[in-house]
Amino acid sequence: MTDQPALPPVLRPADPPRRSLTELADRFARDVRGDLADVHLSGITLATADLRRGEAFVAIQGVNKHGAEFTQVAADQGAVALITDEAGADIAAAVGLPTVIVDDPRGVLGDLSAWVYGTGADDRLPLLLGTTGTNGKTSVSHLLQGILDQMGVVNGLSSTAERHIAGQVIVSRLTTPEASEMHALLALMRERQVEAVAVEVSAQALSRHRVDGLVFDVAGFTNLSHDHLDDYADMQEYFEAKLALFTPERARRGVISLDSAAGARVVERSGIPVVTIGTPAIAADADAAARADWVVTIDDERPDGTVFTLAGPDGRRLTTMVPVIGPHMAANAGLAIVMLLEAGYAWERVADPLDRDGRIIAQLPGRTQFVSGERGPAVYVDFGHTPDAFEKTLAAVRRVTPGKVLMLFGADGDRDATKRFDMARTAVEGSDILVITDHHPRFEDAASIRATLVEGARRTRPDAEIHEFSPPEKAIVEAVGMVGEGDAILWAGPGHQDYRDIRGVRTPYSARELARRALRDAGWPVPEPSWPVPYDD
């Protein structure tokens, strides 16, 4: 478990475009350097590692270096042009690539990419379904993809976990790809006759121009809770970043969940037509959720999923099951269904397959994923990493667990430290046993992160059973030893991820596989994995 895993590939259309650099400059340039005549490009990228021969290299100012410092590397790899700002042009002058100068290379990257790949708002594109919010974005995206499969619609997906293109699956790098990658991906999907695409849209993607040049047919909003205050000054600034999706420049229609207080604010300030959906069982304001255009009612919670009814205008009513525990997952499923309706699919086209199959058939990587067998403790591995996600998922596990609930988690290093106390508080309040371990320490001291979490948990419940183990390979073994038949372990944080970030190195690692190994070594039967195993025993 020491070799750093290779990054997933960036996807391009099989039949790349051929665009005139002179025409690009006419549309976007403030100035040019060098001879642009007879130069044509077949793509565009920010990263030399992804650059293919015949493409243009876009160089932006980074935190520590200007991308133009890597122009010679780009030229050696076959770049035909440089797109950068004035400072970058000066840095790269000696390389001699034809150069297009723009004021803000990152700010214009989306529009550049849309023009290069022919994926702008006025071009022929698949139906675009974008989901934002603190929690639930990935789940809604994968549920959309699953329902589209059941409907027989050729589809694509871009989420934190995976990219799907008409059945091909690629592991993701970022929640939302850089604009150049996003537009290249859409061009490839169009080539493969994809009809609809589910896209997870993070606040950072909106703030950092990763979805520029796109107009979503339907935008969905899940909720807003404490997260990412390392990127945003406060919750208001974080809210404003999400709100940007609900403008005519970004989307045509919206579906807004009223389950968090922020939902009503999105409705009030939205610049596009919206419909609302609510789940009174989990909403901050149950009455407001019950008055939504669409209402999700929880009918049954079982270890294999959550049965719910979706009711809306004109007497439309559907009862089905989402294959994950928790009312919040039913809320996500309801949002996905209504987004498809708002996209123009007929009620029967969406509802009939769900009625036929009796459930939504979808794989949600690392979302309260059941990794144990029929006997022994139930073990769930989850990607949740916010206090709100902890609270909802712990409550869901509690309702289907007859015995004790053990919570195992760690916190990200070099990320929003202001939520750590609330993560520890929520974890200890919702569990019978708490085990604190490491997650992605990055360049922080792992012991210091654990100490903060332990302190927060002990201040909340001084009498609680709290343990601290490092590394997580040891923590899961110890956790399995503390529980038995009828008990449950919720391992929150790692989810589907196949690495840990330790001082900038992606060390191969799978919480799902480590949990299976610990169960097997303790004598409990475990099923064969339904996911790729990143390393051997």
> CA dist 517 to 68, 424, 535, Å?
47, 26, 12
pLDDT digits (tens, 9 = 90+) for 4-27: 444 556 788 999 999 999 999 999
pLDDT band at 365 (very low <50, low <70, confident <90, very high): confident
Q: Quick check: 508 pLDDT over 90? A: no
- What mean pLDDT is predicted for residues 79-100? 97
CATH numeric code, 369-521: 3.90.190.20
- Neighbouring CB atoms inside 10 A of 6's CB total 7
Q: Provide the 3-class DSSP secondary structure of residue 387.
A: helix
CATH number of 19-117: 3.40.1390.10
Per-residue pLDDT, 2: 37
pLDDT higher than 90, residue 432: yes
Residue 49 has what pLDDT?
87
In 3D space, the residue among 17, 55, 9 whose CA is nearest the CA of residue 187 turns out to be 17
Higher pLDDT among residues 269 and 4, named by residue: 269
Report the alpha-carbon distance of residue 449 to residue 129 in Å, rounded: 37
User: 319: phi > 0 → left, psi -120 to 50 → alpha, else beta; which?
Assistant: beta
Give the model's confidence band at 497: pLDDT under 50 very low, under 70 low, under 90 confident, else very high.
confident
Mean pLDDT, residues 144-153 taken together: 98
**Closest Cα to residue 156, out of 140, 145, 170, 143?**
145
Per-residue pLDDT tens digits for 436-453:
999 988 999 999 999 999
How is the chain split into domains, by residue range?
A: 19-117, 127-357, 369-521
Give me the mean pLDDT over the 82-104 stretch: 97
Phi, psi (deg, nearest 5) at residue 378: -80, 130
Handedness of CA 464, 456, 492, 259 (dihedral sign): positive
Residue 66 is given by DSSP the state B
3-state secondary structure of 400: coil
Distance, CA of 365 to CA of 337 (rounded, Å): 19
Which residues, in sequence order, are bridge partners of residue 251? 216
CA distance 446 to 521: 27
SS (H, E, C) 188-254: HHHHCCCCEEEEECCHHHHHCCCCCCCCEEEEEECCCCCCCCCCCCCHHHHHHHHHCCCCCCCEEEE
321 contacts: CB under 8 Å, gap ≥ 6:
305, 306, 307, 308, 358, 359, 360
More confident residue, 1 or 77: 77
| Distance between CA atoms of residues 132 and 300, nearest Å | 27
CATH 3.40.1190.10 applies to domain 127-357:
yes
Q: Is the pLDDT of residue 403 over 80?
A: yes
Contacts (Cβ under 8 Å, ≥6 apart) of 200: 130, 131, 132, 137, 138, 140, 141, 158, 159, 160, 175, 176
